[in-house]
Structure 1
């Protein structure tokens, strides 16, 4: 197994040298030109009719602010803008006059809208795929440094449970009639929560405080990197300075397109789009979607090969795990060995990992789990079965005493040498704390 000796956390200087090999070809000059033209068109619409209260006023206010500084927050903003634009471009949300298509100009505009709707759908799908793959890649990279016994599986289980809860939270919000803006505010808060949990894995505080003793075997280099990734002059700042400016321009362009459509639809009954406005609008959407997909394709390759985390084969992530927290005991013929675990909170995990390291014949041993409630009543949680080795866990539904039993009573002559590790992992809670920002 590879040694971690001499390995240090990835630094901003290291990433700078890496990014030197990934120079993003500048955005098309059409991005700046068309953004300026769309901005001018929206100004004309606002002069004709000031922004109404609500969504229009919010968009105008957002346009007066700088785009978010973080790369991943910009990704989410572009995703939000695209969903809002798709919403506006759906036929059911067109102005009533346009839906009737009573004139050749309206029919032409409807054809253009259908085409642009498809372009935004393709761009949105590209972004969604990128985000999903990147998130999974980061989590799986971290998990390669976690000992591959019940600890790793429990962290995965906790993550799956947390993701199910987050999805249920989004579905409940949607069911309540929330707007796309409100849904994305929740999605971004959830994303920041994921960042906070990842950062806490590095510092072993907060949510992961109860799991820190189970992380023995994780190279310190990984924990150090996760902990320092958000320093003011840390690795992510290099990413923002290299790739932020073109993304910021695209975020602003998406907002301008969204505002232009919103204002146009709101005033369509009294002020239809002119031929020139339609040409600018169509060209702006074509340029934005093309350039955004190009940026995502580029950044996907950068992130896929980025040395944000030391590879497992280099770091020797599982070095020394064979001697990590295991105990050995001899179970004489005709006897049993028991381990009792007191559980004080429901949703704790009882976990085990065992094998037999010595034996003459019948190289297996009986195993079962028994529960005793606070009143002293016993019940069988895991029925008796014979194993050569086994790893497993379950989530507790009740507090009380859980007894893990290894049974060699069926053997008349031969002892069994049992090598095992068991523990009770407390439930992971999700306290409300200030967010620690970690970008993926």
Structure 2
């Protein structure tokens, strides 16, 4: 188990500084130019031929602003790439192209084959990127987990859950589900992974059966996995920095698919003109090359990105975690934190350590419950610590008090670095399986 002593999760300010070292070279101007040209050709076709239901949905999606999440855009690109590969299967070619009766038809058949190979290569690049990032985040989390039955149990649960997810996808495919249906399921599964990751960070939800064992898990790790996907958290800096070029590529691939769909469906009535084919050919080349460049670039950024930094580094950049406070407890005095718990199965969590003092200096710590009549019940008996991390699942609503006691000291004050959380209960997932996997 790797040590997290003295570490805090990455902050948005720190990530901004880190990303300054990795500026992304702007996309080629051809991306916006070709996207506009392709959309114009599609609009001309749709004016003459009514769109079917799927094409109407696709046209609407291509005209809208792409989603703002990095990983959601990657899944959207992956879906469209697979749809395009399907369209380019020879079985979906117009009869004239399959027969290759003319030189133009033979040329177009050759282009279709080349485009399919380009998109297959791009798909493999994206699949590798997503798989590697998922394993990287999970393995990083497990590095800081206690290397005993707790880590083994979580690994086994994850493997079992992933097998179940694969079976769900297979069931959709075997029942005749479309590529869109399959990716709708894949995205729901990705959201399940996020929720499960947050639940582990909060030690709640489907992890409530493990919570009494999670005291040995570093609090900094729980903080990190709870906040990693927050909309306003550190990863929002990633979206702000690298989202715009990805959004442009998402719009481009949606429009490429729309034009291909319209062109193939109406090929017998109106063949694409040579100039239009040239535009589409250039668009395929620009999209696949620029998308692969972006994926490879972001892979390097992710591979080198830190997840934890020292508290000193965070503070030096103005990004120290405000949840932690330094408290001076004078000799002969106590420091108390009172919490009002409104829901049972909430979690009271603490993380504290002495940040100055002599060798072997410690401080008393206890946790008690006060009922409506003022009666006290000891939850965690008094004990002296140099540092401690832990959490407690509440079985009663009401007032709780955490007490740090320096009353036994006659001369020395104690300086605490302390964090206290009261985490409301998280609803269980519909499935009893649990797992971990990273995202954006």
TM over 0.5: yes
Task: State the distance in 2 between where 1:159 and 1:3 align.
Answer: 23
Task: State the distance in 2 between where 1:126 and 1:228 align.
Answer: 28
TM-superposed deviation, 1:430: 3.9
1:99 maps to 2:59: no
Gapped regions of structure 1 (runs ≥ 5): 315-428
Helix, strand or coil for the counterpart of 1:210? coil
Question: How big is each residue's C-alpha offset from its partner over 1:209-229, in whole Å with a ceiling of 9 and x where there is no partner?
Answer: 211222222211111122223
Cross-structure match for 1:188: 187
User: Cα–Cα, structure 1 residues 8 and 30, in superposed 2: closer, same or farther, change >3 Å?
Assistant: same
Cross-structure match for 2:167: 168
Cross-structure match for 1:393: none
Cross-structure match for 1:87: 86
1:43 maps to 2:47: no
Cross-structure match for 1:32: 32
Please, what is the CA RMSD of the aligned residues?
Answer: 2.1
Task: State the distance in 2 between where 1:4 and 1:175 align.
Answer: 46
Kept in 1: contact 2:137–2:438 (CA 8 A):
no
User: Cα–Cα, structure 1 residues 4 and 89, in superposed 2: closer, same or farther, change >3 Å?
Assistant: closer
Kept in 1: contact 2:9–2:223 (CA 8 A):
yes
TM-superposed deviation, 1:3: 5.9
TM-superposed deviation, 1:308: 2.7
1:361-380 matched pairs, under 5 angstroms? none
TM-superposed deviation, 1:61: 1.6
Cross-structure match for 2:146: 147
Cross-structure match for 2:219: 220
Corresponding pairs, count: 321
Question: How big is each residue's C-alpha offset from its partner over 1:403-434, in whole Å with a ceiling of 9 and x where there is no partner?
Answer: xxxxxxxxxxxxxxxxxxxxxxxxxx74369x
1:268-347 matched pairs, under 5 angstroms? 268-309=267-308
TM-superposed deviation, 1:240: 0.4
Task: State the distance in 2 between where 1:437 and 1:249 align.
Answer: 27
Cross-structure match for 2:16: 16
Gapped regions of structure 2 (runs ≥ 5): 314-427
Kept in 2: contact 1:7–1:221 (CA 8 A):
yes
Task: State the distance in 2 between where 1:42 and 1:276 align.
Answer: 14
Cross-structure match for 1:247: 246
TM-superposed deviation, 1:47: 1.2
Task: State the distance in 2 between where 1:275 and 1:205 align.
Answer: 61
Cross-structure match for 1:371: none
TM-superposed deviation, 1:309: 4.4
Kept in 2: contact 1:207–1:431 (CA 8 A):
no
Question: How big is each residue's C-alpha offset from its partner over 1:262-287, in whole Å with a ceiling of 9 and x where there is no partner?
Answer: 01011101000110011000000000
Helix, strand or coil for the counterpart of 2:209? helix
Kept in 1: contact 2:138–2:437 (CA 8 A):
no
TM-superposed deviation, 1:255: 0.3
Question: How big is each residue's C-alpha offset from its partner over 1:86-119, in whole Å with a ceiling of 9 and x where there is no partner?
Answer: 0000100111222111111111101111111110
Kept in 1: contact 2:203–2:214 (CA 8 A):
no
Helix, strand or coil for the counterpart of 1:8? strand
Task: State the distance in 1 between where 2:120 and 2:2 align.
Answer: 46
Question: How big is each residue's C-alpha offset from its partner over 1:151-173, in whole Å with a ceiling of 9 and x where there is no partner?
Answer: 11110000000000000010011
Task: State the distance in 2 between where 1:35 and 1:197 align.
Answer: 38
What's the TM-score once normalised by structure 1's chain length?
Answer: 0.70
Task: State the distance in 2 between where 1:157 and 1:432 align.
Answer: 16
Kept in 2: contact 1:68–1:74 (CA 8 A):
yes
Cross-structure match for 2:206: 207
Cross-structure match for 2:125: 126
Task: State the distance in 2 between where 1:79 and 1:245 align.
Answer: 17
What's the TM-score once normalised by structure 2's chain length?
Answer: 0.70
TM-superposed deviation, 1:291: 0.2
